[in-house]
Amino acid sequence: MGLLRTAALLGAVLAARVAWAADAPADQGACVDDTVKADLDAKRRRRSAKERLIQKTNRHELGVRGGQYVSDLFDMSYVVGALYAYHLTEDFAVEASASYTRMRSGGGPELERIFTVLGGQKRQSLLFFSNLVWSPLHAKLQSGSSITHFDVQLTAGAGVVDSALSSGIAGNGGVGFMFMLGRAVALRIDLRDYVYRQELLTRRLIVNDLAITGGVSMLLPFAE
């Protein structure tokens, strides 16, 4: 009886130790998992609560720009202009712009004949447009120890091209980059495609003119 009791006691002790050994890693793993989860949750809360470095929502943007105007029918010329934008959110803005360029041609006699027939009208071209601007990507660029924040922008809109050879409603679309030089100043690079109708004597043509511009704009108010 004594031997049987001793063997039973030893068996119970061994079974208890085996059960404890089997349960210990699971409890420890669960503890580690809970710790990692809590740490990730804390980081997520801190990240979601952190505001963007530069806020654009409800701010006004005033800018000037200039560059090259590549015409379908005439030679490349300069273009200068100004813009006003109101940022509805961080991603969307409405923009009004006005630009000035001139029609030039290396085939001088033909262009002279066209404008003679038109009564010597001016060769200037004025572009007035209203656009919706979408910023699908907000990113940053590091150069050495400095970090520059920038937006990639897509835009489309409608307007008019006021010149001796154009008529009707015009459309435009393009892509641009807005590099923030601080909380209130930005450097802008834009590529726009202007689609409209030009009339050369008896010919009516749909043209695609390109404008590549760079400029500086200011966000108001200065304090966000």
Task: Clarify whether residues 18 and 70 are in a common domain.
Answer: no
What per-residue confidence (pLDDT) applies to 222?
A: 82
Task: Clarify whether residues 146 and 202 are in a common domain.
Answer: yes
What per-residue confidence (pLDDT) applies to 130?
A: 98
DSSP string, 128-159: EEEEEEEEEEEEEEEETTEEEEEEEEEEEEEE
Q: Note whether residue 214 is domain-resident.
A: yes
What per-residue confidence (pLDDT) applies to 160?
A: 96
Q: Note whether residue 92 is domain-resident.
A: yes
pLDDT, tens only, 32-46: 567 766 666 665 655
Strands 146-162 and 166-180: antiparallel
What per-residue confidence (pLDDT) applies to 6?
A: 54
Residues in the chain: 224
Query: With a cut of 70, which residues of the chain have pLDDT below it?
Result: 1-33, 36-53, 106-122, 201, 224
Q: Note whether residue 31 is domain-resident.
A: yes
Phi, psi of 11 (to 5 degrees): -60, -40
* Structural domains in the chain (count): 2
Where in the sequence is the domain holding 46, given as residue range(s)? 1-50
Task: Clarify whether residues 13 and 109 are in a common domain.
Answer: no
Contact partners, residue 157, CB within 8 Å, separation at least 6: 95, 129, 130, 131, 132, 171, 172, 173
Task: Clarify whether residues 27 and 119 are in a common domain.
Answer: no
Task: Clarify whether residues 42 and 68 are in a common domain.
Answer: no
Provide the strand spans (E) within the chain. Answer: 60-70, 77-87, 92-102, 124-143, 146-162, 166-180, 185-200, 203-220
Among 10, 28, 50, where does a domain finish?
50
Task: Clarify whether residues 42 and 106 are in a common domain.
Answer: no
What per-residue confidence (pLDDT) applies to 205?
A: 87
Q: Note whether residue 159 is domain-resident.
A: yes
Task: Clarify whether residues 169 and 104 are in a common domain.
Answer: yes
Q: Note whether residue 27 is domain-resident.
A: yes
Task: Clarify whether residues 29 and 64 are in a common domain.
Answer: no
CATH code for the domain of 111: 2.40.160.20
Task: Clarify whether residues 71 and 129 are in a common domain.
Answer: yes
Q: Note whether residue 55 is domain-resident.
A: no
Task: Clarify whether residues 119 and 166 are in a common domain.
Answer: yes
Q: Note whether residue 29 is domain-resident.
A: yes
Model pTM score: 0.71
Q: What angle do CA 57, 149, 183 make, to 5 degrees?
A: 55
Task: Clarify whether residues 81 and 41 are in a common domain.
Answer: no
Question: Cα–Cα distance between 20 and 54 in angstroms, integer?
Answer: 56
Question: Cα–Cα distance between 21 and 33 in angstroms, integer?
Answer: 19
Task: Clarify whether residues 94 and 199 are in a common domain.
Answer: yes
Q: Note whether residue 13 is domain-resident.
A: yes
